[in-house]
Structure formats: structure tokens, C-alpha cells
Chains A and B, each alone.
Chain A
Amino acid sequence: MMKRDECLRALARHCPDDIVVAVYSSAFDWVRIRPHDLNYFAVGAMGLASSHGLGLALGQPGRKVIVLDGDGSLLMNLGSLVTVAAVAPRNFYHFVCENGTYEANGSHPIPARDKVDFSGLARAAGYARVHQFNELASFERNVAAVLAEPGPVFVDLKLVPGEPAPADYDALYAASRRDAFRQALGRAR
């Protein structure tokens, strides 16, 4: 099984300046791995990462938008898979960090963690391009090709937590971070 931080490091090598929408434990890892003004943190209302990402993708059609969702988070907003598939933005890449738990809330198991098939859910919702990885070497070999595909793309990353990252919620919630994101988008146009 992949460690999340190692997996995200592999991803970061292929998206140095893309918009990345991250949530909770993935966000804490990501901000340490790729500190960047184009990091967008969808926290506060759990489950909405893919929806924030869809709005960003529609508003910025010339840039890739990479969503780092959680499995518990996505379960709160499964309908968004259908909405994204219907809108079908070509610049939308939906990664789900599947660790089978609500890690930020005590690592309690998600419902049906041994049964639920996130790739199957995405495929059934209408995503045409769906991938699943559980080995780091395979992910490293394929991530560039995955990001070269037209969106919407769904990627289920089966992983376990890696090296713990500081859970600094204040930093994620900070208004200054949203201002920096907005300014970075303006510079990027």
C-alpha cells in the first residue's frame, strides 16, 4: 500500500503550478510538499472539494484543476460525481485519497470500507477515464500519462497515512490564503 505523502510527492513533480484543491489530511500533507499560492483548501463544509474544483475548472478553462479529495469527504457528496461527469470539464482531475477512515476525526472507519468501490462509483456516474493505484511504483510510472488525458479524470489512490504532517487548521482557514490564491490566479491569466 502506498504512503500518502510519498504518493503526493510523486504527483507534485507533475503539477508544479497547477491549481490544487485539497482537503483535511491530504491538505496538511500537500501544503508541506508543495507550498504554493495556487493551493486551495476546501475545508469547513466537508465534502465540497469536487464542487469547489468544478467551479474553479469552469472559471479557469486554460489551467488544470487537481482535486485531492478524501474518501470520507467524497462520500458526503457522491452526487458531485454525477454533476462533474455531466459538465465534463476537460481540465478537471479528481484524485481520491482512499485510506478507509475519517482520519481527521479520529480515524474511524468510513461506512462499508471493505465494500465500497470508488472507481466503480465514478465510472457509473459517467467519468470516462478512471484509474486506481495501490502501488507507488505503478503510480509514479503512470501519473504523467494520467494528467495528460482530457478530463474529467478520476483517480482512486489506495493508501495509508505516511509521515504525519502538522494539522494546522488556522493556516488552512486563513483569509490571507484565499487572498493569495485570488491574486495568484490574477497573475496567472
Chain B
Amino acid sequence: MTTQPVHPLATLAGPAPSGAAIIEALKQAKIGTVLSVPDIVTSAGLLFPIASDNSFRLIRVCKEDEAVGICAGLSYSAQRAVLLIQYTGLLDSINAVRAVAVGYKMPMVFMVGLLEKEPGVPPKQSALYGIRIVEPILEAMGIEHHLIETQSDVVKIRPAIETAYASSRPTVLLIGQRPLVS
């Protein structure tokens, strides 16, 4: 068995999160619908298991901003959803997030894979420009966000979702490394 070399900027120590544990946290937070454009970070650990789990309604959308509109529509019927997307898709849908999630104060949960982020490295310190700008953009937009990098971060998921729905605001869960397939 080989171990991955530790990145020189890695400060977030711990094993990758369990996909099953993340899915369980979604269920505990009463997420019934998953809206997704596939993302390789979350493909094996989250999207494939969710696709075969009858307790979720999976809607495969063509583009991420569609999911923002669908999620808004569902929220009027008190139906909870999560947008399972890649950070590139989050960036692509920024205007929809601005107008619908932030401007209209809609509860919306984004689970966002940080493609190619170095394991253990805080996003703002990534060598990748696209990764480095994600958190500052969310902060500029006033959007709460949480990094799910290791198994110990999974406990953040349910409270973040509950807060989003209780306060009718968006929240973003940044998946820092590939969830493990159990």
C-alpha cells in the first residue's frame, strides 16, 4: 500500500471524509432531492451511491443555475434539496446565486467539489487560481461556507443545512477531497 506524499502547505490533517457518512448527514438533515451536474470529486463517494438510493430524488440538470431555480421552487413547498456540483459550476452560476439565493433570501445548500485541490491544503492557499478564489467570492457575497476536508468535518454538514433552512439563506459545503467509497 502506498501513501500519498504530504503537500508542503498541508495543514488540514486527517482522513478523507466517508461518502456514506456525508450521505447519512444529508438524510438526517431531511434532504429529499439532490440536483446534480457530475463532479469527479464527488462522483464515486456521493453521486453514484445517491443515484442508487431510493430515499433521494435525483434530478440531473444540464447546467448548475437550473438547479438554483429548481431548488428555489421546491423550497416553497418546504422540500429540502442539495446542489451537488463542481466549483466551476458554482462560479458559472454566480448570478443565479446572487439573485435567487442571496437576493431573495432562499434556503439553498450547495455541496461543491473543489476539483484538484491539494489534499490538506486550505483552499485559499491552493496553487490553483480557481480554487483560491472560491472562498473570497463567497465571503464577498456574504454566503456562509464550510470546508469538508476530513472525516472530522462531516459533523458540520447537518447543522449547516439546518441553519440554512432556519434562516432562509444559502450555505456552501466545500468538499476538499474525494469522499471515500465505503
Contacts and interface: CB of A to CB of B under 8 A. Distances in A.
A181 B76 CA distance: 8
A47 B62 CA distance: 13
A175 B100 contact: no
A5 B65 CA distance: 30
Interface range, B side: 20 to 34
A175 B73 contact: no
A52 B74 CA distance: 8
B70 A51 contact: yes
Nearest to B78: A59
Q: Which of B62, B71, B73, B75 has the most CB of A within 10 A?
A: B73
Nearest to B79: A59
Interface residues of A, number: 29
Given A55-B71, A80-B62, A48 B100 contact: yes
B66 A77 contact: yes
Chain A interface, DSSP helix/strand/loop, else mixed: helix
A83 B59 contact: yes
A44 interface: yes
A91 to B, nearest CB: 12
B85 to A, nearest CB: 14
Contact of A79 (B66, B76, B100, B103): B66
A185 B78 CA distance: 11
Interface string B124-151: 0000000000000000000000000000
Contact of A185 (B71, B76, B105): B76
A89 to B, nearest CB: 11
Contacts of B65: 45, 47-48, 51, 77
A59 B77 CA distance: 5
18 contacts: A44-B103, A45-B68, A45-B96, A47-B65, A48-B96, A49-B69, A51-B66, A51-B70, A54-B73, A55-B70, A55-B76, A56-B76, A59-B73, A59-B74, A77-B63, A77-B66, A83-B62, A86-B60
Interface of A: 42, 44-45, 47-60, 77, 79-80, 82-83, 86-87, 175, 178, 181-182, 185
